[in-house]
Structure 1
Amino acid sequence: MVHRLTWFEPQRGDEQLREFFITALIDMSASLTLQDRQGEYVCITTLPSRWSLPAGMQPSDEAIFGPDIGARLVELKAGLSKSGDRAELEIEAGDDTFFEFRCRLVEMSNGELHLITIVLDRTEDRRRERLLRALLREVSHRSKNLLAIIQSIASQTARYSGTLEMFLGKFRGRLHALSQSQDLVTDSSWRGAYFRDLLAQQVERYVPDNRDLVRAVGDDILLTPNASLHIGLALHELIVNAVSHGDFVARRRPIEVRCTRVDGEKGPEIRIQWKEPLDKTDGESLEASRAARFGSTVLERVVPSSVNGTAAHTLEAGEVRYELRFPLEATD
Structure 2
Amino acid sequence: MTWFEPERGDDKLREFLITALIDMSASLCLQDSEGRYICITTLPARWSLKSGVTPSDEAIFGADIGARLKEMKAGLAKPGDHAELEIEAGDDTFFEFRCRMIAMADQEVSLMTIVIDRTEDRRRERLLRALLREVSHRSKNLLAIIQSIASQTARYSGTLETFLTKFRGRLHALSQSQDLITDSSWRGAYFRDLLKQQVDRYVQENADLVKVSGEDVLLTPNASLHIGLALHELVVNAVSHGDFLSRRRRIEVSCERIETDAGPQIRVLWVEPVGSLDSEALKAARTARFGSTVLERVVPSSVNGQARHSLEKDQVRYELTFPQESYE
TM class, shorter-length: over 0.9
1:19-34 alignment to 2 at 5 Å?
A: 19-34=15-30
Q: Which amino acid is 1:289 matched to?
A: A
Question: What do residues 112-168 of structure 1 show as CA deviations (whole Å, max 9, x unaligned)?
Answer: 110000101000000000000000000000000000000111111111111111111
RMSD: 1.1
1:287-326 alignment to 2 at 5 Å?
A: 287-291=286-290, 293-294=291-292, 297-316=293-312, 318-326=314-322
1:284 to partner: Cα distance: 4.5
Aligned-residue identity in percent? 74
1:10 to partner: Cα distance: 2.7
**What is the alpha-carbon distance in structure 1 between the residues aligned to residue 220 and residue 230 of structure 2?**
15
Match of 2:129 in 1: 133
Indicate whether 1:75 and 2:74 are aligned. Answer: no
1:61-72 alignment to 2 at 5 Å?
A: 61-72=57-68
1:264 to partner: Cα distance: 1.1
Indicate whether 1:237 and 2:236 are aligned. Answer: no
1:96-111 alignment to 2 at 5 Å?
A: 96-111=92-107
Task: Determine if contact 1:278/1:319 at 8 Å carries over to the other structure.
Answer: yes
**What is the alpha-carbon distance in structure 2 between the residues aligned to residue 329 and residue 165 of structure 1?**
38
In structure 2, runs of 5+ residues without a counterpart are none
Indicate whether 1:14 and 2:13 are aligned. Answer: no
| Aligned counterpart for 2:109 among listed residues 104, 113, 125 | 113
| Aligned counterpart for 1:49 among listed residues 22, 45, 52 | 45
Q: Which shifted more, 156-165 or 46-55?
A: 156-165
| Aligned counterpart for 1:84 among listed residues 69, 80, 84 | 80
1:11 is paired with a residue whose SS is: helix
Q: Which runs of 4+ in 1 moved over 6 A?
A: none
Q: Which shifted more, 8-17 or 107-116?
A: 8-17
Indicate whether 1:228 and 2:224 are aligned. Answer: yes
Q: TM-score of the superposition, structure 2-length normalised?
A: 0.97
**What is the alpha-carbon distance in structure 2 between the residues aligned to residue 84 and residue 9 of structure 1?**
27
1:39 is paired with a residue whose SS is: coil
Question: What do residues 95-114 of structure 1 show as CA deviations (whole Å, max 9, x unaligned)?
Answer: 00000000011111222110
Q: Which shifted more, 111-120 or 230-239?
A: 111-120
| Aligned counterpart for 2:157 among listed residues 144, 148, 161 | 161
| Aligned counterpart for 2:199 among listed residues 198, 203, 227 | 203
1:316 to partner: Cα distance: 2.9
Q: Which shifted more, 273-282 or 218-227?
A: 273-282
| Aligned counterpart for 1:186 among listed residues 163, 179, 182 | 182
Task: Determine if contact 2:309/2:319 at 8 Å carries over to the other structure.
Answer: yes
> Are the structure 2 counterparts of residues 320 and 284 from structure 1 closer, same or farther at C-alpha, using a change threshold of 3 Å?
same
1:184 is paired with a residue whose SS is: helix
1:14 to partner: Cα distance: 2.1
